[in-house]
């Protein structure tokens, strides 16, 4: 019964199931398809080009409603992230205004050290402009969302270190809009049907569509598809960077520390054995 073929087949089925996770939404369970991200796993790093594209999506589409109040402009030039140049960051910051009590009229152009200014003057303004719903700030949103894996897959996640539930959810959400709500579903006025969003009635209109944003392509680089799928993947990756800017450095340090500890444990074991040699125990 437990021959190799059966075992391999079982593992294949389990692995397949593991690729599909769920979002708990009251009674019904939504399945979120997990993506493969460059920043997943022990050796994960951000793809600089992807982050730059994702930033473009954020800036051209999302930032009109969503803030990023914990993101300083200067971090866009940090290594391990989108890695824009210092000049680019300085020029970008100068396009935005920040409040400064010491400045003329209370506002001044932003500098690299400033934090991303909010698109709205107050929470009430944000709600008024969005049908009563408050567009959440993007700074840690990719960590404030997740997917729910059934038993036993959530246990496997401890061993794989799966931490990409947020981007997986966001990607699925952006691709989860339906033109029409299904039969029998009461969609409130002003809301849109999204089969990933808990409750399915989301206040945000579908923000992305094919061809909406033009990606500039460097010489010699492959053209990047200008599709909803690509935009949603890129912006999800960028949002993960906003939430975890030091991910690459953290994983690199972690690998060295883990290796050190394994070697050290081996040495310690040898020392322990040497000390205990000859003792009946």
Partner 1 sequence: MSEHSTYTPGSGVEKWLDERLPIIRFSKEHLMDFPTPKNLNYFWTFGAILVMCLGIQIVTGIILAMHYTPNIGLAFDSVEHIRRNVNGGRMIQAFHAVGASMFFVAVYIHIFRGMYFGSYKAPREILWILGVLIFVLMMATAFMGYVLPWGQMSGWAATVITNIFEAIPVLGTPLLELLRGGFSVGNPTLNRFFSLHYLLPFVIAAVVALHIWALHVPGNNNPTGVDVKDSRDTLPFHPYYTMKDAFGMVLFMIPFVWFAFFAPDILGHPDNYIQFNSQITPAHIVPEWYFLPFYAILRAIDFNLLFINSKLLGVIFFGGSIVILFLLPWLDTSKVRSGNFRPMFKWFYWLFVVNFIGLTYLGAQPADGIYVLLSKICTAYYFIHFIVILPVLSRIEKPRPLPTSISESVLAKSHA
Partner 2 sequence: MATGAVAGVGAAATVWPLINQMNPDASTLAVASIEFSLNGIEPGQSVTILWRGLPVFVRNRTPEEVAEAQNVALADLKDPQTDAERTKEGHENWLVMIANCTHLGCIPTGESGEFDGWACPCHGSQFDTAGRIRKGPAPTNLVVPPYEFVSDSLIQIG
What residues line the site for partner 1 (CB under 8 A)? 24, 42, 70, 75, 136, 139-141, 143-146, 157-158, 161-163, 165-166, 198, 243, 245-246, 250-251, 253-255, 257-258, 261-262, 264-265, 268-269, 271-272, 275-276, 279-281
Phi/psi for 97 (5° steps) reads -110, 140
- Judged by CB under 8 A, the chain residues 90 through 109 that form the site for partner 2 are 102
CB of 117 to partner 1, least distance (A): 15
List the single partner that 251 binds among partner 1, partner 2, none, CB under 5 to 8 Å by kind: partner 1
Nearest to 57 by CA among 200, 195, 262, 209: 209
Nearer to partner 1, 109 or 266 (CB): 266
Q: How far is CA 275 from CA 102, 224, 272, in A?
A: 69, 62, 5
Separation between Cα atoms, residue 169 and residue 258, nearest integer Å: 30
Partner residues linked to 107 by β-bridges: 99
Do the beta carbons of residue 33 and residue 196 sit within 8 Å?
no
176: tokens are 């989860």
> CB under 8 A: which stretch of 127-135, 144-152, 231-239, 256-264 binds partner 2?
256-264
Candidates 18, 41, 48, 74; binder of partner 2 (CB under 8 A) is: 74
Report the candidate in 40, 51, 22 with the shortest Cα–Cα distance to residue 161: 40
Q: Which residues bind partner 2 (CB under 8 A)?
A: 72, 74, 102, 111-113, 260, 263-264, 267-268, 270-271
């Amino acid at each position: 019964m437990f021959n190799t073929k059966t075992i391999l087949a079982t593992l294949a089925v389990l692995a397949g199931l593991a690729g599909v996770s769920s979002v708990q939404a009251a009674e019904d369970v939504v399945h979120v398809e997990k993506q493969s991200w460059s920043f997943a796993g022990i050796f994960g790093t951000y793809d600089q080009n992807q982050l730059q594209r994702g930033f473009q999506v954020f800036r051209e589409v999302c930032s009109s409603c969503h803030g990023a109040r914990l993101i300083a402009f200067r971090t866009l030039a940090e290594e391990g992230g989108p890695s824009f140049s210092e000049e680019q960051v300085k020029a970008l910051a100068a396009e935005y205004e920040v409040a400064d009590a010491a400045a003329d009229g209370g506002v001044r152009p932003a500098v690299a050290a400033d934090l991303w200014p909010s698109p709205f003057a107050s929470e009430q303004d944000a709600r008024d402009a969005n049908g009563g719903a408050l567009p959440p700030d993007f700074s840690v949103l990719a960590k404030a969302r997740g997917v729910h894996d059934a038993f036993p897959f959530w246990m496997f996640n401890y061993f794989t270190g799966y931490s990409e539930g947020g981007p997986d959810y966001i990607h699925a959400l952006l691709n989860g809009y339906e033109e029409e709500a299904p039969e029998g579903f009461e969609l409130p006025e002003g809301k849109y049907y999204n089969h990933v969003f808990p409750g399915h009635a989301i206040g945000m209109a579908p923000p992305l569509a094919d061809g909406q944003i033009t990606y500039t392509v460097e010489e010699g680089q492959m053209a990047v598809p200008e599709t909803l799928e690509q935009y949603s993947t890129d912006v999800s990756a960028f949002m993960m960077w906003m939430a975890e800017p030091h991910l690459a450095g953290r994983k690199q340090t972690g690998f060295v520390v883990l290796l050190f500890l394994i070697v050290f444990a081996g040495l310690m074991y040898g020392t322990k054995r040497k000390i205990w040699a000859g003792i009946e125990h």
